[in-house]
Amino acid sequence: MRVIVVDDQTAVREGLVTSLETMQGVEVVGSASDGEEAVELVAAVSPEVVLMDLRMPRMDGVEATRRIRADHPETQVVVLTTFADDESIVGALRAGAIGYLTKDAGRDHIRRALEAAASGQAVLDPAVQTRLVEVATLPATGAGNGPLPDGLTEREAEVLRLIAAGRSNAEIGRELFVSEATVKTHVNRIFAKTGSRDRPQAIAYAHRRGLVG
């Protein structure tokens, strides 16, 4: 797995590079001190995953993520930052980040997040999952404007928004006046269409695609 590290703090950046270089199957192919350098470096070395800080000079991590994902969709971005506020989390996910970790994440957690990202799977810090559920609103901002992504139906999008709002299958069934078995069918279809293995990944997808507020 080819990885680059982006962080404006030299000690943090070098420490991450050193740690990643000891991980089996991980090759650090470069590092950058801000978003502009990151965008240029991705174009030059084509990594599979970028480990991205958010608050940096010249170009922040959200804008760098947006540009990288637009120009190099084969490169995934995992955010690693000290910030877990709503604006940072949702901004990064909507820019295209597939993972979001805080800097107290352990070495094994970072390794698992990189491996998951390389295979197209989302990984979120538990605190981030909690915040995403708390900020999810119904109806979503912009919901219903334009076609839904990945072949989702209106009912599946509705179920996904309820998942993002922290509802259980039983609660979704009561709210939509359908059986729990029907909800499970919708959930399975949502997972299949969005490439999600579980509810946290589906929640991340919903925020990345702007299906919740």
- The CATH homologous superfamily to which domain 2-125 belongs is Response regulator (3.40.50.2300)
**Cis upstream peptide for 126 (omega within 30°):** no
Residues 73-124 have pLDDT tens digits of 999 999 998 876 777 888 888 899 998 998 888 889 899 999 989 988 888 8
For domain 136-208, is the CATH number 1.10.287.110?
no
Q: List pLDDT tens digits, range 6-54.
A: 999 999 999 999 999 999 999 999 999 999 999 999 999 999 999 999 9
Residue 194's H or E segment, with its range, is helix 180-194
Cα–Cα distance measured from residue 128 to residue 211, given in angstroms and rounded to the nearest whole number: 17
Report how far Cα 2 is from the mean position of its chain's Cα atoms: 19
Q: Domain spans of the chain?
A: 2-125, 136-208
Euclidean distance between CA atoms 93 and 101, whole angstroms: 12
